[in-house]
Structure 1
Amino acid sequence: MSERIVMVLFNSVVLLILLIMQILMPRITRKNILLGVKIPEEKMETDEVKNIIKGFKRENLIVGIPVLVIISLLIYYIDNIHIFTLSVFLYIGILFLIYIRWNKKSKELKKEKEWDKLKGKVVVIDTKFSRDRAKDSTVPQRWFLVSVIIILISTALSLIMYPSLPEKIPTHWDINGNVDGYMNKSMFTALLMPLTQVLMAIIVYMSYYFMIRSKQQINPNDPEISLKKNIIFRKAWSIYFIVTLTLIEILFTALNMMTLGIFSNMKLFNIYSFTIYGIIIIGSIALSIVLGQGGDRIKLKEEENTSKGYDIDDDRLWKLGNTIYYNPDDSSIFVEKRIGIGWTVNAGRPFGMFFMILPFVMIIVILLLVE
């Protein structure tokens, strides 16, 4: 199998995962959110809502699959790294336009049915209790020391092996394990992989940090049950972050050992890497489906007799298809996403706006550096 085919397959898998996550969006989002629009939970079982969800999924399949095929063919026949780099962003943009279209339909349905007039009374709850419990709802940060130790081992190997390294250090291999890329010997080259491992650790830790610092979205109708679900949700995802980072650091250490000439079994490395990526992807999808956003889809025995009241309607605080949270009066910088799983920033706060713009600046810099 040629390297170009492998590249096309890899890209297709990435795009397919994006499509699957988009289709699963209504299932992993909170149960009272219809494609970003908050409606009474009991209305989610109406035919009108079900038709919107079916139409959303159908359009994603009708548009998403052909576009995926076209992009894959372009990557195969056109030898241009920019097409490969931009394909993911292009596909995300197309999927987002589909989402925006059905988000608008959801807003129109809500207005037509006057569900915005069914919102309940505002219930004041003790947010200090939520913050205190949140400290105990995640795996202790000391578990990140496991990844730190792995990075230190990788760094030590690079420093020890540096004097005996050849003038041309292998940095890339084809699918058969043959070296097809070299860099001149330097301390930077020798430490390139450990530095990459440090960057990966920072990215994963920041995700963990955002989760800790984000405010808990508590249902005012059932605050105790909602809080318990949120704690389970955060505990599960904190374990996921730590396990994922540990596996990735082991993988990059093995890659560093290949660069240093300590390890050379490409077949074993490929098996391990595909296994790791599979665990990471399947794990995230499974957690998203089972837990839902904020643990909203977790089933607890004590909630069997609770009501499905309609809590505060805060659609006005979410912009651009309910994807950007903008609330200058909210002191929180990190909040739960309105759609899908994860956390986002409060663009109404200066730091929140900074964190929202930063990824786009980094993407532009990376694209400019790609030759």
Structure 2
Amino acid sequence: MLVAIFFAIILFITIIQASIPFLLKKTIAFGVTIPEGHSGDKNLANYKKIYSSIIVILGLVGLLIFTLRGLNEHLGEEQIGVMGLIIQLVLLISSMVLYLYFHIQTTKRKREMKWGENLKMVRVADLTRQSNDEMLPSIIFALPVVVTIGLIAYTAIHYPAMPDQIPTHWGPSGQPDAFTEKSPFSVIALLLILLVTQGMMVAFNVFTKKSGVKLNAARRNSSRIQQMSFRKYTSWFMFLTSLLMTILIGFLQLTTIHGDIGGPFLMLAAPLGFLVILLLATAIYAFKVGQGGSRIQPEIEEEAITGVTDSDDDVYWKAGVFYVNKNDPSIFVEKRFGIGWTMNFGNPIGYLIIFVPVLIIIAISFSL
């Protein structure tokens, strides 16, 4: 079972990483702004193909090695797990190195070909986004928080009857394999981590709603539809993630209080179901929506406005990955390579939303 789980994860990472260059906006390539009319450049197309081909080859080699080694009956679960994590890490590091190489090559080609020098740079923002925004209201994200608070209260009521050893980790079989001494803190530690994570989701939804909507200067109407769809599906994806986490951790908490609810089968099926649903949702989100809604096909016909291009923000994107702009009030902005959002490192509020909760989670984990 463990081999199958890691096989699925490695395959998933390979497919997603290899597909990323083709899931982005046409006006973005390896973190570099590409003016309208130059997105079909043959060199850029070759960069994308080479990147994806290398990732696919590395992924297939990794899968072959993992399968052959993983089916070795002399390997224990711990060794299989370590090998699976190493292969995942190699894939991710390789994709980062390849990205940086092609980011440099794309930047160089843009500079040599003088793309955009004869075009008027325009920054177009959608000022009607509040009335057209279909993102879920933040109150919806607060519902899982209420459930978690209820579970904390339920745990407190049943504290005297709880076992002396509290599970802190569950193995591939779904059974707990690490424990800590029972205390008022340890019995709710997992729920506290969940609560902090849910708070991050609420904050992320709130500030994503407030982030600026930058439209394609040459295709304003179609890009507006894509942007609104991207925000809507992002909101739903975040809520689904929060809901799945609440269900899984809530289930694990109830098993700690009442024993193996549903028996070994359900203990195995619950985390496996969580993983399967989350991977499928991520794949649907990536391939149906694309970055910035690039894969959404608006049901309108719009001819591109000639002579204009988007304002070049490359100066604010360090290596095309880290966005640092103190003049931009947005706390979260769309990624330039990858699917989803990233933080504006020039806005200090982002550090409070991301790093403070992470530090709290780490502190809780090390306190057990």
The normalised TM-score by structure 2 is 0.81
Q: Which of residues 6, 14, 20 in structure 1 aligns to 2:15?
A: 20
Structure 1 residues 218, 133: CA separation in 2 closer, same or farther (over 3 Å shift)?
farther
Would you say 1:246 and 2:243 are equivalent positions?
Answer: yes
Partner deviation per Cα, 1:119-164 (whole Å, 9 max, x = no partner): 33425x565434x347x33111121243123213322331222111
What SS is found at the alignment partner of 1:117?
coil
Shift in Å, 1:96: 0.5
Moved more, 234-243 or 32-41: 32-41
State the identity as a percent: 27
- Asked whether the 8 Å contact 1:173–1:180 carries over to 2, the reply is yes
Alignment of structure 1 residues 1-371 onto 2, 5 Å: 6=2, 10-11=5-6, 13-66=8-61, 91-122=91-122, 125=124, 128-130=127-129, 132-133=130-131, 136-176=133-173, 180-262=177-259, 263-307=261-305, 310-320=309-319, 322-352=320-350, 354=351, 358=355, 362=359
Letter aligned with residue 32 of structure 1: T
Distance 1:165 1:299, change over 3 A: same
Query: Please, which moves more after superposition, 204-213 or 230-239?
Result: 204-213
CA distance in 1, matches of 2:227, 2:151: 36
| Paired AA for residue 115 in structure 2 | W
Q: Cα–Cα, structure 1 residues 199 and 364, in superposed 2: closer, same or farther, change >3 Å? A: closer
SS in 2 for 1:234: helix
Aligned residue for 2:122, secondary structure, equals coil
3-state SS in 1 of match to 2:179 = strand
Give the partner amino acid of 1:100: L
Question: What SS does the corresponding residue of 1:43 show, helix, strand or coil?
Answer: coil
The separation in 1 between residues aligned to 2:80 and 2:45, in whole angstroms, is 42
Q: 1:48-71: per-residue Cα shift (whole Å, max 9, x none)?
A: 332121111112233444467678
* Partner AA of 2:197 in structure 1: M
Query: Shift in Å at residue 79 of structure 1?
Result: 5.5
Q: 1:14 to 1:369 in 2, by over 3 A?
A: farther
Paired residues in the alignment total 359
Change (3 A) 1:283 1:106: same
- Give the Cα–Cα distance (whole angstroms) in 2 for the partners of residues 183 and 155 of structure 1: 18
CA contact (8 A) 1:210 1:343 kept: no
Give the secondary-structure state (helix, strand or coil) at the position aligned to 1:115: coil
How far the C-alpha of 1:92 sits from its partner, in A, is 2.8
Code of the aligned partner of 1:92: L
Q: What secondary structure does 1:268 align onto?
A: helix
Structure 1, gaps ≥5 residues long? none
Asked if structure 2 preserves the Cα contact closer than 8 Å seen for 1:19 and 1:95, the reply is no
Deviations 1:72-117 (A, max 9, x none): 969x688699888777556433321111111222223323433242
C-alpha RMSD of the superposition:
3.7
Q: Partner letter of residue 151 of structure 1?
A: T
User: Partners of 1:178 and 1:43 in 2: how far apart?
Assistant: 55
The amino acid of 1:311's aligned partner reads D
User: Per the alignment, in what secondary structure is the counterpart of residue 188 of structure 1?
Assistant: coil
Instruction: Give the 3-state SS of the residue equivalent to 1:187 in structure 2.
Output: coil
**Following TM superposition, by how much is the alpha carbon of 1:347 offset from its aligned partner in structure 2, in angstroms?**
2.6
Contact 1:64 1:95 in 2 (8 A): no
Whole-angstrom CA distance in 2 between matches of 1:90 and 1:355: 31
